[in-house]
Amino acid sequence: MTSILPGSPPDVAPTPLDDYLALCKEACDGEIARLYGDGDQAGGLRDLILDYPRRGGKALRPALGIAVCLGLGGHLDAILPTAATLELYHNAFLIHDDIEDESWWRRGKPTLHIDHGVPIAVNVGDAMLSLSLQPLLDNVERIGLGPALRILRAVSHMTRRTVEGQAIELDWVRSNTWTLTDADYLTMVELKTSWYSFITPLQVGAIAAGEDPDRLAPLEALGRHLGAAFQITDDLLNLRADPDEYGKEIGGDLWEGKRTLMLLHAMRCAAPADRQRATHILAKRRPTADGAISLVELLATLTRRGELSVSGRASIHSFLMAQHVSEPKTFDDIRWLYGLMHDIGSLAHARKVASRHAREAATVLADLDWLPASQHRDTLAGLVDYVHGRTR
Amino acid sequence: MTSILPGSPPDVAPTPLDDYLALCKEACDGEIARLYGDGDQAGGLRDLILDYPRRGGKALRPALGIAVCLGLGGHLDAILPTAATLELYHNAFLIHDDIEDESWWRRGKPTLHIDHGVPIAVNVGDAMLSLSLQPLLDNVERIGLGPALRILRAVSHMTRRTVEGQAIELDWVRSNTWTLTDADYLTMVELKTSWYSFITPLQVGAIAAGEDPDRLAPLEALGRHLGAAFQITDDLLNLRADPDEYGKEIGGDLWEGKRTLMLLHAMRCAAPADRQRATHILAKRRPTADGAISLVELLATLTRRGELSVSGRASIHSFLMAQHVSEPKTFDDIRWLYGLMHDIGSLAHARKVASRHAREAATVLADLDWLPASQHRDTLAGLVDYVHGRTR
């Protein structure tokens, strides 16, 4: 099942699921390019908007919407503008998340703000959020007023949930909060990830197909479980995956001090001395993108060589402290955190929780008796299997 | 006329225009607070969203929409949700602009990203952009489907123009472009400022009042001229205004290297040696927010005192250069740039262009024979006079 990952080796034949996802991505990218047109080249904005989508990615969100819509007898035309909107939102969130998390690497290349600076990256994200309204208005002609408005309301609800989840996570970082339960984590993930990545994509597919409003509740349950399983597994992969397959920097979450299910488990279960050491490490900043050697290390070297006085070094240190250029995490710190999570059983715990949610998702899908057997339903089942397979 | 500025002295009696604007602001802030509700306190998001609106500001954009709507016989209820959306967009753009321009000061307080860090500020802006869709959907019940959709389309058009204008300006900064004409500047300002601050607020007022689509063209012309006059004057005030009255940091545009009409004029008209010196200054970064004393100056002092070797200082310098922590602009640099613009007639030129656009706006407004005489029309005339008055 790993062959649907973007970096899958070329000697593995694509599965029907791979083909389906590739078709969805092609259709959706075409819609985004059409939407922006060729005419306007304001500040190179068009190329910047298409940068992340062109880097690959599975177009998971469009595929979920398309599979539900087509599986319920709807047409591709009915869901394609909305699918493009979901992909625009996703990529806008990625660009802004990368700034917020200080990530350096995305789909095998430097992040947009590393390549072009924070100002341009903030604006490109805003541009994608702004552009995403147009396809939802195009829906009026394509699927009629009622469904078009229901989709607008669903997307409005989705974006609110997403920024609330993001706000909770950022607040945990700012307040250096680590005493959090699995339930706290799952609430945050549902808001931050499940709504825009799973629940809304599934629901807009049903709305575009003209399905009854009472179908939306089971799709919400399906999306919630899929989202939890997906995010936990994504966080686990971040610790250990092959970068060629995974496309993000490995262990980046630990450098960022991201609250993952396993790190929270370790902080709850560790011996007091280990918890104290972990808290100290996690309070350190991550090293800057440029610096293999840090300024602090350079100053130590100069002092050892007698080129910088001890008092001079102290002045520079206090200057840097005032500028919040504090001590960075080291590779040893990261290795120690990983060892702690491994030894204490946090990785096994996270895999268990992810697997439970994946099984729940499979059960919910199996119970959807109003969704007839088809390649579209098979695609949904394949995606559930894929998420489940990653949890093992 | 200066009494409508937020910092106007308390002994000046408010004019009818002041009262009108204050009422618009109160109604609009109430709508924003209602929209977000009290229930959800995700990560303190509600207070962060209300931070900039609570700092004051004129609520110019809501007032324009309200004045046109009421002036054409529409009701406050018909325009209020849209007015709230315009104010949310405005404040979201301010938050993200402050990050993009590295501004430190907004309405008499540190900018949001200085107070709470870039990650939280990026997300709060996204939250406001995301929330702004809901009031536009509420319009369906309030003013009916046709006008609600026309407003959604107008807002979609507006946001696209705005991010395109921002992209052009950021691209000029990134490519260090200074050979730009008045026409280049005015095109950028129309996209970046006039659409969301003037043209769309005026137009949605007419749409909410159920006015004919052919009324939109003269309102576009009115907004375009008002926007140009307003932005040029705002840039002039930035150079010299009283901070208590103006609410932004004075001369901040010069520290940022912002392309203003007068700086572009100076770069076009300066003698070659002066142009070279100005280009050199403008390529320097602005000092960091914390640093009254810069690290570079500290290193020089340590070397003078014999506490840091010349080669050690060179190593630290090259480390900093690799991290893009280059030489900052100085107060002398800024004073010299101001002197250049003054001596070469750039300030007078900018005042002339602003004044011309303000007069054009007054002419367009005077010709709107389908907008009956009322306190609402008086408010629009008062705002044109206010913008014109600032140009003198």
For residue B322, list chain A residues with Cβ-Cβ distance below 8 A.
Answer: 290
What pLDDT does B321 receive?
Answer: 56
What pLDDT does A326 receive?
Answer: 60
- Domains by residue range for chain B, with CATH: 2-6+14-267+330-390 (1.10.600.10)
For residue A191, list chain B residues with Cβ-Cβ distance below 8 A.
Answer: 42
Both tokens of residue A270? 């560790």
Cβ separation of A309 and B308 shorter than 8 Å? yes
3-state secondary structure string, A293-318? Answer: CCHHHHHHHHHHCCCECHHHHHHHHH
Q: CA dist B174 to A116, B96, B338, Å?
A: 8, 17, 23
Both tokens of residue B175? 């490519």
Cβ separation of A309 and B311 shorter than 8 Å? no
Contact criterion met (CB below 8 Å) for A294 and A328 = yes
Region A314-324: mean pLDDT is 65
Hey, is B271 helix, strand or coil?
coil
Contact criterion met (CB below 8 Å) for B361 and B229 = yes
Position B377 pLDDT exceeds 90: yes
For residue A124, list chain B residues with Cβ-Cβ distance below 8 A.
Answer: 167
Cβ separation of A162 and B298 shorter than 8 Å? no
From chain B residues 324-343, the ones with a CB under 8 A of any chain A CB are 324
Compare CB distances from A170 to B119, B163, B299 and report the shortest one's residue: B119
What pLDDT does A262 receive?
Answer: 95
Cβ separation of A122 and B99 shorter than 8 Å? yes
Region A196-214: mean pLDDT is 95
From chain A residues 153-192, the ones with a CB under 8 A of any chain B CB are 153, 155-156, 159-160, 162-171, 173-174, 191
Complex confidence, ipTM: 0.79
Position B257 pLDDT exceeds 50: yes
If one compares A102 and A276, the residue with the highest pLDDT of the two is A276
Contacts of B24 (CB under 8 A, 6+ apart): B59, B62, B63, B66, B83
Both tokens of residue A378? 């098979």
Whether residue B131 lies within 8 A of chain A, CB to CB, comes out as yes
Compare CB distances from B316 to A101, A298, A311 and report the shortest one's residue: A298
What pLDDT does A320 receive?
Answer: 64
What is the β-pairing status of strands B109-110 and A109-110?
Answer: unpaired
What pLDDT does A250 receive?
Answer: 61
From chain B residues 24-83, the ones with a CB under 8 A of any chain A CB are 40, 42-45, 48
Hey, is A6 helix, strand or coil?
coil
**Considering chain A, what is the average pLDDT of its residues?**
85
Contacts of B134 (CB under 8 A, 6+ apart): A156, A160, B35
Question: Which residue carries 């992040």 as its tokens?
Answer: A111
Task: Kindly report, residue by residue over B237-251, the tens digit of the pLDDT.
Answer: 888 754 444 445 567
Task: Kindly report, residue by residue over B66-100, the tens digit of the pLDDT.
Answer: 999 999 999 999 999 999 999 999 999 999 988 88
Position A306 pLDDT exceeds 90: no
User: Angle, to 10 degrees, between the axis of helix A76-100 and the axis of helix A118-131?
Assistant: 160
What's A194's DSSP letter? Answer: I
Distance from CA of B154 to the nearest CA of A (A): 10
What pLDDT does A159 receive?
Answer: 93
Both tokens of residue B6? 């937020």
Task: Kindly report, residue by residue over A337-362, the tens digit of the pLDDT.
Answer: 999 999 999 999 999 999 999 999 99
Compare CB distances from B298 to A137, A316, A324 and report the shortest one's residue: A316
Contact criterion met (CB below 8 Å) for A142 and A81 = yes
Torsion sign across C-alpha atoms A142, A146, A149, A153: negative
Residues in chain B: 392
- Which long-range CB contacts under 8 A does A305-311 form with residues at least 24 apart? A305/B312, A307/B308, A307/B309, A307/B311, A307/B312, A308/B302, A308/B307, A308/B308, A308/B309, A308/B312, A309/B302, A309/B307, A309/B308, A311/B307
Distance from CA of B37 to the nearest CA of A (A): 12
What is the β-pairing status of strands A109-110 and A105-106?
Answer: antiparallel
Highest-pLDDT range among A6-15, A356-365, B20-29, B310-319: A356-365
- What is the distance between the alpha carbons of residues A149 and A200, in angstroms, rounded to a whole number? 14
Contact criterion met (CB below 8 Å) for A201 and A86 = yes
Region A235-246: mean pLDDT is 67
Position A55 pLDDT exceeds 80: yes
Least Cα distance to B125 among A128, A122, A89 occurs for A122
Contact criterion met (CB below 8 Å) for B16 and B375 = yes
Q: What percent of chain B has a predicted confidence (pLDDT) above 70?
A: 86
